[in-house]
Structure 1
Amino acid sequence: MIELFISSFITFFVVIDPPGCAPIYAGLSAGAAPMQRRAMAVRAVAVASLILFVFALFGEKLLRGLGIELASFRIAGGVMLFLIALEMVFEKRTQRREDRAAKVSADPEADDVSIFPMAMPMIAGPGSIATVMLLMAKNDGIERSAVVLGAMGANLLLTLVALLAAGPIMRVLGTRIEAVITRLLGVLLAALAVQFVIDGIVEQLR
């Protein structure tokens, strides 16, 4: 169970990327009052948590309703995560997030950034939704599912801490260290994505 928690925690950490969300949030909430920044951070993580928990609990039933096999979803999810990994290694993901943040900042009516773009798609994006559904489908049983949900919850809590401390974190890390961390995490995610694809292919061939 400890190994499952560690592997799930690392997977969610790489996909959700709390250190990567912090600088984006710091830029988006730069003009807000401290109390408003804290409120938006809590709201963003709360909404993202709700979205991810819904897909964790009912995602498999949704797939069945659409006539999609779990093996097919594993392959598709693995490919999606691999593309995200490539973006992380070549820093395309950070650039895309910054471009999205710049568009939101340019809109004078978009004062509250907690729902869009923070909760979705930055925290509860396609990658994290696919990850939670894949891990829940792979780990049957109440105990193993609870471990996966616990790992996801720990990452969401870490994301909340990162958003609340976005300013100090950016001053400590700096852009160069953040870029190195992002690339290392991208390599790990690529390996995990390949494993998802292999598992899906093996299950299809049985």
Structure 2
Amino acid sequence: MELNLNFREIATSSMVLFAVIDIIGSVPVIIGLRKKVGHVQSEKASVVAAIIMIAFLFIGEEILKLIGIDVYSFAVAGSFILFFLAIEMILGITLYKNDAPESASIVPIAFPLIAGAGTMTSILSLRAEFQVENIIVAILINIIFVYIVLKSSSKIEKVLGKNGISIIEKIFGVILLAIAVKLFAANINVLFK
């Protein structure tokens, strides 16, 4: 089997996933969870998130077909999720409130913080445009970065400070908003044809 690795596709996929996962913007959430539950298992959270994302890359479309949803409907629904995530990031508000978990490695860090609905939608959208192996490389690049951030979240908080984290969160919020609009525009026309 020949690998069709393409640097442009890897870079684009990596940037899209980086903006959607927004692990830097999630540092305040991770720090809050660390304070509530004590220890976050960075390795476990990263590996589980990678497995979920790669599995969804291969079987996500089949799962959707099984429950009678086409990729375009899922992409439009996902664009709304991305839109609201972006609004949360830009305005600094919380639209979704979750109870404090007992353990924070798999839920809510691996799922839905890292491998959430926005990430799943993005993976399916990327699969429609790019080669699978390039998306897998992009996922792995992001998971390595996620692991580094999870491992050093308290150091990142000290270096960036609250204002630095807030600025980064707002920048990625705007990027995410643009991705949501593009995703919506690209798929809504197909639904009405």
User: 1:30: how far off?
Assistant: 4.4
Match of 1:181 in 2: 168
TM-score (normalizing by structure 1)? 0.81
Task: Give the percent of matched residue pairs that are identical in Structure 1 and Structure 2.
Answer: 29
* 1:135-184: CA deviation from partner (whole Å, max 9, x where unpaired): 12333xxxx11111211211111000001111111100111111111111
Cα gap change, 1:27/1:76 in structure 2, threshold over 3 Å: closer, same or farther?
closer
In structure 2, relative to structure 1, the CA distance for the partners of 1:69 and 1:32 (3 Å cut) is closer
Aligned to 2:65: 64
For residues 183 and 136 of structure 1, the distance between their equivalents in structure 2, rounded to whole angstroms, comes to 27
Which TM-score applies when normalising by structure 2?
0.86
Alignment partner of 1:134 is 2:121? no
Any residues of structure 2 matched to 1:75-90 within 5 Å, and which? Answer: 75-90=76-91
CA distance in 2, matches of 1:116, 1:155: 19
- Residues 78 and 138 (structure 1), Cα distance of their counterparts in 2 relative to 1, 3 Å cut: farther
Whether 1:74 aligns to 2:75 is yes
Letter in 2 for 1:60: E
Structure 1 residues 89 and 31, CA gap change in structure 2 (3 angstroms):
closer
1:22 aligned residue = 27
In 2 relative to 1, CA 60–168 (structure 1 residues): closer, same or farther, beyond 3 Å?
same
List structure 1 runs of 4+ shifted beyond 6 angstroms: none
Structure 1: unaligned runs, 5 residues or longer: 105-109
Q: RMSD of aligned C-alpha atoms? A: 2.3
Number of equivalenced pairs: 188
Aligned mates of 1:201, 1:24 — CA distance in 2: 32
Matched residue, 1:107: none
Residue type of the alignment partner of 1:197: F
Q: Is the 8 A contact 1:70 1:137 kept in 2?
A: no
Report what 1:41 is aligned to. 42
Indicate the structure with greater helix content: 1
Q: 1:169 matched to which residue of 2?
A: 156
1:113 corresponds to 2:104: yes
| Aligned residues of 2:79 and 2:118 also touching (Cα < 8 A) | no
